[in-house]
Amino acid sequence: MSLTTCTIHTTLKPSKMVYVSNDLARTLHLTNSKNILVRFGSKSFTAPLRVVKKAGLHLYLSILMFNTIKIPRTGNCYVVSTNGKEISLGPLIGIFTSHSGNSLSPFGGRTAFIRQIMRTGNDKSFFVAFGPNDVDWQNETINGYIMRPNGAFVRRTVPLPDVVYNRLSSRKIEKQPSMEGFKERFERRDIPLFNWSFFDKSDVYALLEKDEQFKHVPESVINPSPSKLKEMLQIHRFIYLKPSAGSLGIGIYRVTYHPHRGYFVRYRKNNKNILLRFAKFDDLVRMLGINRGMLGQYVAQQGIRLIEIDNCPIDFRFHMTKNMDDEWVVAAIGAKKAGKGSVTTHIRTGGSLMTPQQVLEQVYGNHAESVLSNAKSTAIRLAEALEQNYQHRLGELGFDLGIDQREQIWMFEANSKPGRSIFKHPSLKAEERASLTNIYEHCLFLSKFRVRRNE
Ligand SMILES: Nc1ncnc2c1ncn2[C@@H]1O[C@H](COP(=O)(O)OP(=O)(O)O)[C@@H](O)[C@H]1O
Ligand SMILES: [Mg+2]
């Protein structure tokens, strides 16, 4: 297999020929006057090949050929040849996410992020962002958004892509019955799609249940009975109640049991931290029952005594990505310090963002480095374990990890569509770029446009 980059041009010459510069022909082991198959995403055509004298790596296609394979622009891209008889241009990377149809900001709050991903590889690859209604399976095309060099989004019809990065942001749309079949249609055409769907917390715990890494999951019970709740409170002294499909800390309760004083419940309501006390367990159950009915499935989870600064618990967001070599790496870590009186560490509830070094040096002094490196290898093992036990591909994960006062590492949740708020921290700019580069390079790997480092 030969892989290189080339510059694609349109030519006004007779439309029957594909012209390649002699440098490009040599690099790809192509020879004159044979027919060549030219592929872009799911589209292809066959035409006679002509090698032309010209320095550099160039490819010339007629407008007709451009239209046949629906290449959205001229300029640079990767080109790969497996046997000297076929070349694939690309990759065409699909970003699956819904949009509003408004071309100034088609992806709402995600627009800047989509632009960042596309900028990462747009000089050598093609990107198309598309929603569930943009695919024409019959014609094998997508009518989605491509990005111009100035950052503007325009709609274009392109072939089905070489790889799909799932960033659908709505749990509701993803849960629609048609969605499984929709995504399977890519896989059936050998188009890898990664990050299949949102995780519910209970899904993640269940995936790890038989794995050695389960030791990092606090004891968790889905929809516990009152007697189970009572038992957990007696054993662990405090527990978290979390909506299994929740996020952003919404609907979370922290319940503490004091043998002589009763049950204390902390939660957030109308932008305020609430603390209630119940002398009797039955009153606690009554209060929770009402709310639980409204919020759907809950997980009761052993409370973990997190490390603290100024009496405020701290936990960590580990942003995990796969890389060019299909390995999990820790792309970035943000430390999150809970706001005073808040049961979670989210910024929206008064939390603050710090670097892991700032936190760990304060808590562990010169032992900080070894705590951090242990947490990193744990996060990698957790990502590997999740992926091994999951029936779909994963390429990116956001773990909420805690370190307890005995230095044990715990995983509270794994997000398959991780948010990017930790990258607001000015010290995490290099990590932000790394997260984008890794995802892009992982797309190169999955679409077989990989630059092989070790071969
Ligand atoms: N079992 C637990 N013990 C201690 N703190 C927890 C526990 N579960 C959650 N938390 C705290 O609450 C935060 C939010 O919990 P998480 O499971 O990430 O839910 P969400 O999906 O709402 O973000 C965590 O980042 C952590 O600070
Ligand atoms: Mg979380």
Is ligand 1 within 6 A of the CB of residue 218? yes
Q: Which ligand is nearest to the CA of 240?
A: 1
Check if the beta carbon of residue 89 is closer than 8 Å to that of residue 77.
yes
Q: Ligand 1 in contact with 200 (CB < 6 A)?
A: no
Six-digit token string for 136:
């024409």
412 CB near ligand 1 (under 6 Å): yes
C-alpha count within 13 angstroms, C-beta hemisphere, residue 219: 13
Question: What's the pLDDT at 452?
Answer: 60
**Alpha carbon distance 408, 419 (integer Å):** 25
Ligand 1 atom with the smallest distance to the CA of 303 is 3
The C-alpha R_g of the chain, in whole angstroms, comes to 26
- C-alpha angle 369-374-379 in degrees, rounded to nearest 5: 125
Residue 98 C-beta-side C-alpha neighbours within 13 Å: 11
How far is Cα 277 from Cα 339, in angstroms, rounded to an integer? 21
Which ligand 1 atom is nearest residue 345's CA?
A: 27
Q: Read off the tokens for 173.
A: 């749309």
Pocket test for ligand 1, best of 204, 342, 344 (most atoms within 8 A of CB): 344
Residue 292: the pLDDT is: 52
The DSSP 8-state label assigned to residue 215 in this structure reads G
Ranges in the chain annotated CATH 3.40.50.20:
92-194
- Is 379 near ligand 1, meaning CB less than 6 Å away? no
| 249 C-beta closer than 6 A to ligand 1 | yes
Q: Indicate whether residue 252 lines ligand 1 (CB < 6 A).
A: yes
Query: What is the distance between the terminal CA atoms of the chain, rounded to a whole angstrom?
Result: 11
Q: Which of 347, 400, 404, 406 to mutate to test the pocket of ligand 1 (most atoms within 8 A of CB)?
A: 400
Cα separation values, 399 from 2, 335, 402, Å: 37, 12, 10
CATH code at 306-446:
3.30.470.20
Task: Name the segment(s) of the chain with CATH classification 2.40.40.20.
Answer: 2-89
pLDDT at 294 (0 to 100): 46
Torsion of the alpha carbons at 10, 14, 18 and 22, rounded to the nearest 10? -90
How much distance in Å is there from the Cα of 207 to the middle of ligand 2? 18
Nearest atom (ligand 1) to Cα of 313: 27
Atom of ligand 1 nearest to the CA of 250: 22
- Tracing tokens 């198309």 back to the chain, one arrives at 128
Cα–Cα nearest to 417, from 92, 105, 110: 110
In this prediction, residue 104 carries a pLDDT of: 83
99 alpha carbon to ligand 1 midpoint, in Å? 30
Ligand nearest to the CA of 250: 1
User: Nearest Cα to 229, choosing from 252, 221, 44?
Assistant: 221
Kindly give the distance from the C-alpha atom of residue 449 to the centroid of ligand 1, in angstroms, as a whole number. 39
Among protein residues, the one whose CA lies closest to atom 1 of ligand 1: 303
Q: Which of 214, 444, 417 is nearest to 320 (CA)?
A: 417
CATH topology of domain 220-302: Dna Ligase; domain 1 (3.30.1490)
| C-beta 144 within 6 A of ligand 1 | no
Ligand nearest the Cα of residue 301 is 1
Q: Per DSSP, what are the bridge partners of residue 135?
A: 142
Cα–Cα distance for residue pair 349/37, rounded to 1 Å:
57
Question: Phi-psi category of 220—alpha, beta or left, where left has phi over 0 and alpha has psi -120 to 50?
Answer: beta
Question: Is the minimum distance from the CB of 303 to ligand 1 under 6 angstroms?
Answer: yes
Residue 366 phi, psi dihedral angles, 5° rounding:
-80, 5
User: The whole model's pTM is what?
Assistant: 0.95
Q: Which H helix or E strand runs over 107?
A: none
Residue 295: per-residue pLDDT: 47
β-bridge mates for residue 89, sequence order: 40, 79
Choices 3.20.20.10, 2.40.40.20, 2.60.40.10, 3.20.20.70: CATH for 2-89: 2.40.40.20
Range(s) of the chain covered by CATH 3.30.470.20: 306-446
Tell me, what's the pLDDT at 196?
97
Ligand 1 centre distance from Cα of residue 22 (Å) = 59
pLDDT of residue 381: 98
* Pocket-testing residue among 233, 242, 268, ligand 1, by greatest number of atoms within 8 A of Cβ: 242
Query: By the 8 A CB rule, do 365 and 412 touch?
Result: no
**CATH 3.30.1490 segments of the chain:** 220-302
> If you measure from the C-alpha of residue 142 to the centroid of ligand 2, how many angstroms do you get, rounded to a whole number?
34
Query: Looking at ligand 1, which atom is closest to the CA of residue 251?
Result: 22
pLDDT at 16: 85
**How would DSSP label each residue in 271-338?**
TEEEEEEESSHHHHHHHHHHHHHHH--EEEEE---B-EETTEEEEEEEEEEE-TTS-EEEEEEEEEEP
Q: Rounded to the nearest whole angstrom, what is the distance from the C-alpha of residue 317 to the centroid of ligand 2?
A: 8
Q: Which residue, by CA, sits nearest to atom 9 of ligand 1?
A: 412
Say yes or no: CB of residue 415 within 6 Å of ligand 1: no
CATH architecture, domain 92-194: 3-Layer(aba) Sandwich (3.40)
How does DSSP assign 35-84, residue by residue? Answer: EEEEEETTEEEEEEEEEE--SS-EEEEEHHHHHHHT----EEEEEEESSS
Distance 258 CA to ligand 2 centre (A): 27
Here the contacts of 279-287 (C-beta below 8 Å, separation 24 or greater) are 281/226, 281/230, 284/255, 285/226, 285/229
Alpha-carbon span 91 to 41, nearest angstrom: 7
Strand ranges inside 139-232, DSSP E: 141-147, 153-159, 163-166, 193-194, 220-222
Cα separation, 372 vs 338, in Å, equals: 20
Identify the pLDDT of residue 443. 98
**Collapsed DSSP state (helix, strand, coil) of residue 151:** coil
Protein residue with its CA nearest to atom 24 in ligand 1? 344
CB proximity list for 103: less than 8 A, separation 6 or greater: 145, 152, 153, 154, 155
3-class DSSP assignment, residue 376: helix
CA of 279 to the centre of ligand 2 (A): 30
CA gap 350, 311 in Å, rounded:
14
Residue from 93, 91, 99, 89 nearest 154 by CA: 99
pLDDT tens digits in sequence order for the chain, 455 residues long: 889 999 999 998 767 899 999 999 999 999 766 899 999 999 999 999 999 999 999 999 999 999 999 999 999 999 999 888 999 999 999 999 999 878 789 999 999 999 999 999 999 999 999 999 999 999 999 999 999 999 999 999 999 999 999 999 999 999 999 999 999 999 999 999 999 999 999 999 999 999 999 999 999 999 888 999 999 999 999 999 999 988 888 889 999 999 999 999 999 999 999 999 999 999 999 888 755 554 468 999 999 999 999 999 999 999 999 999 999 999 999 999 999 989 999 988 899 999 999 999 999 999 999 999 999 999 999 999 999 999 999 999 999 999 998 999 999 999 999 999 999 999 999 999 999 999 999 999 999 998 665 44
Query: Which residue bears the tokens 């994963």?
Result: 394
Q: Are 440 and 324 in contact (CB under 8 A)?
A: no
- Beta bridge partners, 413, equal 400
